[in-house]
Amino acid sequence: MTWMRSFWVVFAKEVREGIRDRRALVAALFFPFLGPALLAVMLALVSQSSRRADEVGVDIPVAGRENAPNLAAFLEQGARLVDAPADPEAAVRRGEVDVVVVLPPEFAAALRAGRPAPVRVITDESRQQARPAAAAAERLLAAWARQTGAQRLVLRGIHPSVVEPLALERVDVSTPASRAAALLATIPFFLVMAVFTGGMPVAIDATAGERERQSLEPLFAAPLPRSALVLAKMASASVFSALALVETTVGFGLVPLALPPARIGFSMHLDPWVLLAILALCAPVVALACALMVTLAARARNFRAAQTTLSLLMLVPALPGMVLGLLSARPPPALYAVPFLGEQLVVSRLLRAETVEPARVALSSASTLLAAALVAMLAARTFERGQPLFDS
């Protein structure tokens, strides 16, 4: 019997068993939609909150309005002024309000005397949500200051433009797309997770599970090349892994359909071509992930130990990519050669519609495939020695 036929016999049996395994099916069929569903929910929430701010303006709690009625009236044109809490700093610290503008009693006297009038803006810079309100308050205060300063200059016969050497105009190109960019950075993370979770039940069942059920010894007594045996197990895990990957990718492709750009305020680069590119990029990832899972699970003492090991293994490639995506720093080209990481970098560039250099894609795919081949070779050698049967 040829090597290929041995491979197919084992492969077909493992796939058939996997299809009959409810846990494997759930992992391959349902979990993959989790990522896209989460992304859709988060995008909907983000777009809702940003729309609310754009449409209805912000609330600014102001303390001591009576000390500067003029300024308060100006502020009221750009925001809704509400009463400040009793202890503004504590309230901001607790996150009850995003910002408090304090107009102290000495404000009026300082203003009349032509001295800089004190105004305090209390906010918590570490809270992402507080930033729009704080920025709005500061913008309004700065506008009032500019206007008042200009009036004073005009009274003294000086044209206000003399003290404004710059005509500063701030054009914010990131909003609201930037708010969603951080969310899009989670896509590569979910892709890697899908690859691992999809193939994991089969990878464990075909190795640690087979030993725990004591069905590995009859298999080792059969006239099969052990390399065909181990590669067939990796390949069958890859089928379920690839299935999960396709589903996740299609799921992400459906997100823009469920949330049209008009609703979320920006368009996502998730057209069919990008989706196909993502699948092609992740094919080596599937191979390496399944090779690693089968190899490690074959060495685990039992089913449970294998589950623990593989769950930890899954986090290793998933986390660095996510962190890099959030930092959005320019990664050095050498990072593209790191299996799992390189693919995530390429995918995140694709999602942001940035140019992707073919050389980097090739580097990333080649290194991942090479790693997969090495792992498979090592596994075949340990199987050849009969280790998975007795190593426990």
Binding residues vs other proteins (CB under 8 A):
1, 5-6, 9-10, 13, 16-17, 20-21, 210, 213-218, 220-225, 385-386, 389-390
Tokens describing residue 330: 């320019």
Cβ distance to other proteins smaller for residue 210 or 343 = 210
Query: Could you tell me which of 237, 229, 236, 252 has the C-alpha nearest to residue 196?
Result: 237
User: Count of CB atoms within 10 A of residue 245's CB?
Assistant: 27
Cβ distance to other proteins smaller for residue 223 or 358 = 223
Tokens describing residue 297: 């699970």
The CB-of-237 to other proteins minimum distance in angstroms stands at 16
Cβ distance to other proteins smaller for residue 119 or 234 = 234
Cβ distance to other proteins smaller for residue 80 or 213 = 213
Is 360 in contact with 333 (CB distance < 8 Å)?
A: yes
Cβ distance to other proteins smaller for residue 11 or 196 = 11
Interacting residues of 243 by C-beta distance below 8 A, sequence separation 6+: 28, 29, 32, 198
Cα–chain-centroid distance for residue 346?
Answer: 14
DSSP-derived letter for residue 67 is G
The CB-of-392 to other proteins minimum distance in angstroms stands at 12
The CB-of-205 to other proteins minimum distance in angstroms stands at 9
**Cα R_g (the chain), whole angstroms:** 30
Q: Look at the block and give the residue holding tokens 């589903």.
A: 247
DSSP readout, 46-97?
HHHHHHHHHHH--EEEEE-GGG-HHHHHHHHHHSEEEEPPSSHHHHHHHTSS
The CB-of-375 to other proteins minimum distance in angstroms stands at 24
Tokens describing residue 165: 């050497």
The CB-of-272 to other proteins minimum distance in angstroms stands at 36
The CB-of-17 to other proteins minimum distance in angstroms stands at 5
Cβ distance to other proteins smaller for residue 273 or 390 = 390
Q: Look at the block and give the residue holding tokens 């892709």.
A: 191
